[in-house]
Each structure stands twice: as structure tokens, then as C-alpha cells.
Amino acid sequence: MLALLDASGDGRARGAMAAALREMFVAPGSMERAYAAYGLLDALAGAAVDDPRVEAAARALVECIPEEVVAAIAAGAGPVADSGRGAAVWADLLLAELAPAQAAALRLAMRMIGEGKQ
């Protein structure tokens, strides 16, 4: 999370990202949802990318993010707006560390968030 904050651009973008991260964990049940999402991702370690659990893990990840943050990102007003190639490089590096099905779940979650799906 600290690397994400550091890579999120100028001070305003870092502030927006920090606020979004705070919001993710203050809502009732948020930690339980995060642990459940992590468990689903962990279960994908040896799975194929077309495993049906990939979509369930992606949905669980998206459900960890407050609706207003998803809406802001989808509208281009969130901390990832205008991030350009730097965000793509960061995502590629993050995904390279994951098993194929885990990376597929994260890609799907990022696509869902970008489309404003909650």
C-alpha cells in the first residue's frame, strides 16, 4: 500500500489515494470482506486462468472498495486519472508477481472498477 501511495503522483493524488484507502477499512465489515477477498485470491494460486473462481475473486476485490471511490475512478476523477503509462507499468509489475489466475482476477477487478461496476 505504501508503494501505491508513493507512486500515485503529486501530493493531491497521494492525498486522494490515502483517503480512499482509509475509507476502504472504516466501514463495518470491511476487514472481513478484505480477508475473504484475500482468501479467494490465495485459493487461485494453482488454478487456471479460466477457473470460475477468478470472477468471484474479482467481485470480492471490487466489493472491498467503497462505491463512491469506484464511481470516481470510473468517471476519471479518482487518483488514477491521467496516470498514463506509469500506472500501466505499475500494474504490470504487480501482476507479474502473481500466479496467472490471481493476475486474471486482479485484471478483471481493475476492469470492473474502471467501468464503475460495484
* Residue carrying the nine cell digits 493524488: 13
Exposure on the CB side of residue 48, measured as CA atoms within 13 A:
3
CA distance 9 to 95: 20
CA distance 116 to 16: 18
Cα four-point dihedral sign 70, 71, 74, 77: negative
**Tally of structural domains, the chain:** 1
Instruction: Give the DSSP per-residue string, 19-36.
Output: HHHHHHHHSTTHHHHHHH
Please give the single-letter amino acid code of residue 26.
V
Instruction: Give the pLDDT confidence score for residue 80 in this predicted structure.
Output: 47
3-state class of 65 per DSSP? coil
Domain that holds residue 15: 2-114
Cα four-point dihedral sign 7, 68, 64, 30: positive
Grid coordinates given for 61:
476485490
**Tens-binned pLDDT, residue by residue, of the chain (118 aa):** 444 444 445 566 566 666 767 777 787 888 899 899 999 999 999 999 999 999 999 999 988 887 777 776 666 644 444 555 555 666 677 788 889 999 999 889 888 887 777 5
CB 58 within 8 A of CB 106: yes
